[in-house]
Chain A
């Protein structure tokens, strides 16, 4: 279904992309933007004006720093241009970006989103603009590289291919969860965000007790199935914006962070509440998972398959237990080892040795 556009709608041009916002954090090669068929407007209003008056194949909007204004700004862009609207989202902005691209064609406010940091070549491909940067070569009368618009079928194929490669690079093949690379990068970005917004981040690292035993006794396919079940259960127990990953062997990690959809009032109330000291949501999720995993009916383990699986874990919070990804992982891992050493089937909070989250009220 075609979008309804008003009289101010700018025509679509083949080869150029308009970038709105501070591209320095969104694009790894932002410094080389002049080598690509791109124009940049740092201010969002100037960007909307350029989009409505200019001819662009696509408009890329950097989400960072525009949180509260993004909705109305995208709505205005939609009215003002027929160009594809691409959101450049930091990992923690992905849930919000997903909402903007959801819904029927005539309702969604953006066409696609890219998780940052990304690069200009990838952006141009998503925009349907094919180009090759011209390092050091000057085209007579134009310093820009040649550009053209891909026909829709080829564009769709290219997008599909890019999405597939992105999935491969960030997903754990066995469980479908995020992989170690994604979790570390996400944690790095969300900590940066939390530093600026005084947000809370909690990291849970856990593994399955005696996993090697199940692998050895029941075989690797059974071991794989246990990992898959753990992944499904953990995903089910978490809130939609929490990020769950498998970071190796039978080891999993969950990054809990403040719900991006909360209002400023809700954030303030939470900060004042007693639960702010220990992220209560993370503890609740971990407890729920521990319980459900313990009760999981794994027929692969035979008639006694119910209730035999347990996990041990460690929880570390920013900024109390560490301010970098490395520190948080190290502290959570230490707590996990403490939990193992204390008889397994428990989750310890950093800084509270021998204190299982089951005892925390």
Chain B
């Protein structure tokens, strides 16, 4: 436990990216500050194995969009099937395909544009746990909320996010 609070013994952050990169170093450091287990993985393939080893834990995956969207974005389906929340770091030079990006968004992954934002993502994720909401519960509530929206609203939301992404990616 640290001054910043209890992350919960069952929490874990899987960090996907090149070892030694600023993103991985920053994320691992922040996770440790929050007393969260950090599992660094070099690529999306080892991230799948990393995820499989965290059964029963509350998991957040943080990784570069290019890496996480490999293999047609199948990682997001796997994460979604195991109620794991994902957050992708946009790479300005990324050539991530639009379809894969949409797969990420549809699977409920959040997107950040800068390493500086990792702290905020972790804080928000921990706050959700503090509110007693597991990712599974949160996903369920999100689904419920979406189902109350009109299909048009959901579509508009998606289009708006896509426009933001396009703007970010240039």
Query: A45 to B67, alpha carbons, bound, how many Å?
Result: 12
Question: In the complex, how many residues of chain B place their beta carbon closer than 8 angstroms to a beta carbon of chain A?
Answer: 20
Known contacts A72-B42, A72-B43; is A48 also within 8 Å of B49 by CB? yes
In B74-119, which residues have CB < 8 Å from any A CB? 74-75, 77-78
Binds A, one of B50-58, B128-136, B137-145, B158-166: B50-58
Q: How far is the CA of A277 from the CA of B91 in the complex (A)?
A: 40
1/0 contact string of A274-304 vs chain B (CB within 8 Å): 0000000000000000000000000000000
CB-based contact A80/B49 at 8 Å: yes
Instruction: Report whether over half of chain B's contact residues are helix, strand or loop; otherwise say mixed.
Output: helix
Contact B48 A45 (CB under 8 A): yes
A275 to chain B, nearest CB (A): 32
CA distance A261 to B53 in the complex (A): 34
B47 to chain A, nearest CB (A): 8
Selected from A43, A52, A73, A77, the residue in CB contact (under 8 A) with B72 is A43
Q: Does B70 contact A (CB under 8 A)?
A: yes
Residues of chain B within 8 A of A73, CB atoms compared: 45
- Please determine whether A49 and B52 come into contact, CB atoms closer than 8 angstroms: yes
Report A-chain residues with C-beta under 8 Å of the C-beta of B71: 43-45, 69
CB neighbours (8 Å) of A45 from chain B are 44-45, 48, 70-71, 74-75, 78
Check A52 against B42 for contact (C-beta < 8 Å).
no
A10 to B105 Cα, complex, angstroms: 30
Per-position binary interface string of chain B over residues 28-52, scored 1 when its CB falls under 8 Å from any chain A CB and 0 otherwise: 0000000000000011111011111
Complex CA–CA separation, A79 to B39 (angstroms): 14
Contact between A48 and B48, CB atoms less than 8 A apart: yes
7 pairs from A and B in contact (CB 8 Å cutoff):
A6-B49, A45-B75, A46-B74, A48-B48, A72-B45, A76-B46, A80-B52
CA distance A8 to B74 in the complex (A): 19
Flag whether A212 is at the interface (Cβ < 8 A).
no
Q: Is A1 an interface residue (CB 8 A)?
A: no
A43 touches B46 (CB 8 A): no
Beta-carbon nearest neighbor of B50 in chain A = A8
- A69-B45, A72-B42, A75-B46 known; A52 vs B52 contact (CB < 8 Å): yes
Complex CA gap A5/B54 in Å reads 15
B51 neighbours in A (Cβ, 8 Å)? 49
- As a 0/1 sequence over residues 1 to 15 of chain A, the CB contacts with chain B under 8 angstroms (1 = contact) are 000001110100000
- Report B's interface with A, CB cutoff 8 A: 42-46, 48-55, 70-72, 74-75, 77-78
Is A99 part of the contact surface with B, judged by Cβ < 8 Å?
no
Residues of the B chain whose Cβ atoms lie less than 8 Å from the Cβ of A306: none
- Taken together as a complex, chains A and B put the C-alpha atoms of A336 and B5 apart, in Å, by 81
**Cα–Cα, bound, A52→B49 (Å):** 6
Contact A7 B53 (CB under 8 A): yes
Q: What is the minimal beta-carbon distance from A98 to any residue of chain B, in angstroms? A: 22
Distance from B83 Cβ to chain A, minimum over Cβ atoms (Å):
14
Tell me the smallest distance from the CB of A116 to a CB of chain B, in Å.
21
Q: Is the CB of B53 within 8 A of A75?
A: no
**CB closest chain-B residue, reference A8:** B53
Apart from A7-B53, A49-B78, A76-B49, what are 10 other A-B pairs with CB-CB below 8 Å? Answer: A8-B49, A49-B51, A49-B52, A52-B48, A53-B52, A53-B55, A69-B71, A75-B46, A77-B49, A79-B46
By a CB distance below 8 angstroms, the chain A residues around B54 are 8
Is A52 a contact partner of B53 (Cβ separation < 8 A)?
A: yes
Find the A residue at minimum CB distance from B77.
A46
The answer for the CA separation of A76 and B53 in the assembled complex, in Å, is 12
Binary interface profile of A, 76-87, with partner B (CB < 8 Å = 1, else 0)? 110110000000
| Residues A69 and B78 in contact, CB atoms below 8 Å apart | no
Q: Name which residue of chain A comes closest to B45, CB basis.
A: A76
Name the CB-closest residue of B to A80. B49
> Which residues of chain A are near B53, meaning CB under 8 Å?
6-8, 52
When C-beta atoms are compared, the residue in chain B nearest to A46 turns out to be: B74
Q: For chain A residues 68-111, which have a beta carbon within 8 Å of chain B?
A: 69, 72-73, 75-77, 79-80
* A119–B134 CA distance with the chains assembled, in angstroms: 46
